[in-house]
Structure 1
């Protein structure tokens, strides 16, 4: 049941991001202003909440990315991706902003962000996207 709920949640998030990207690429100016006013505060709060969960602890480790057996030093991949997209975006090479690392290579070298579909996940648009092999 948790796998099904997780897939529904992931699909909803990917579809929302797809919709926002489509609006950014196709909407008229008045619609863009309206969407920006409603969505930018939500997106910034989402980034803040996610980054707060990845704030380094007193040892300089990311408490979310670290495990009992492997400590992840800050800045973790979440902070690196945040910096790349929010701060260095104008300096970074241009890429397709519609799920640039979805089912593919991570924006952070050496780390795969590809998620394997859970056993039995055969529904939902994003569950059916074939996985890209990463080396």
Structure 2
């Protein structure tokens, strides 16, 4: 059940990001101003909350990315991606991170998430978990 809820949560986030990207690319100036006023504070607060969880501890390790057996030194990949997208923009060299969430920047958002699901597995543009056998 947690896996299904997790997939629903991830799909909702991808859908929201796709919607905002579509608005940024297609909306008129007046609509863009309205969206920016409502969404930019939410997005910046979201970034702040996520980055707070990845602040280095007293040893310089990321408490969120570190495990009991493997310590992740700061800056972790979350801080690196934040810097790349929020500060460096298109000027930062593109590194390939070994993370499943890393999206191919050259592909469209809906094309970068692996193989195409069957029609029975889709809702909107996002794949849902394959049907789970009931007990």
Q: Deviations over 1:5-43 (max 9, x none)?
A: 101100000000000000000000000000000000000
CA distance in 2, matches of 1:3, 1:69: 25
The yes-or-no answer on 1:78 pairing with 2:78 is yes
SS at match of 1:87: helix
The RMSD of aligned alpha carbons is 2.3
Find the counterpart in structure 2 of residue 13 from structure 1.
13
* Correspondence 1:41-52 to 2 at 5 A: 41-52=41-52
Instruction: Using the TM superposition, give the Cα deviation of residue 109 of structure 1 relative to its aligned residue in structure 2, in angstroms.
Output: 2.8
Task: Name stretches of at least 5 consecutive residues in structure 1 with no aligned partner.
Answer: 94-106, 129-135
Q: Choose between structure 1 and 2: higher helix proportion.
A: 2
Name the CA distance, whole Å, in 2 between partners of 1:66 and 1:108.
21
Report how far residue 108 of structure 1 moved.
4.4
Aligned residues between the structures:
111
Q: Cα–Cα, structure 1 residues 17 and 49, in superposed 2: closer, same or farther, change >3 Å?
A: same
Note the alpha carbon deviations across 1:66-125, whole angstroms, 9 max, x for none: 0000000000000000000000004137xxxxxxxxxxxxx64342224999xxxx4544
Q: For the residues of structure 2 that align with 1:14 and 1:76, how far apart are their CA atoms?
A: 23
Distance 1:84 1:51 in 2: 14
